[in-house]
Structure 1
């Protein structure tokens, strides 16, 4: 078991294309891309909601400490 060279990677890539076909790989790539975009959007939405929750908590703490 030697190192993984470029030629070995190319052979594996060609075998995958021959096995699945370009159309199936293209749709798989599109599905993967949309899944990643959805994940990033959900993470940014979660961070935005967490920031708004933290901002309301901070103002509540300030009010309670002044009493």
Structure 2
């Protein structure tokens, strides 16, 4: 018993038919193209995550500077 009721022999027959239809060179090229597409997708996702992290960090720094600025203004008011 294989995957979902498909036996190993049936999988091998399908593999042989695919090899006969497409040939090894074309399958290799398709695999290479698929790998390149996955690599590009992973890079795009990681770049997007970096942009989000940088934006969050910039927003946090902006809020910190605003809070510090308000604290010094309040301190100046009490000194006057």
Q: Using structure 2 for the length normalisation, give the TM-score.
A: 0.75
Q: Give a deviation string over 1:11-52, Cα, whole Å, max 9, x none.
A: 101100001111110100000000000111111111111110
- Which of structures 1 and 2 has the larger relative contact order (alpha carbons within 8 angstroms, sep 6+)? 1
Could you tell me which runs of 5 or more consecutive residues in structure 1 were left unpaired when the two chains were aligned: none
Partners of 1:62 and 1:5 lie apart in 2 by: 62
Larger radius of gyration: 2
Q: Using structure 1 for the length normalisation, give the TM-score.
A: 0.87
Q: What count of residue pairs does the alignment treat as equivalent?
A: 66
CA displacement at 1:61 relative to structure 2: 1.9
CA displacement at 1:6 relative to structure 2: 1.1
Note the aligned Cα RMSD (angstroms). Answer: 1.4
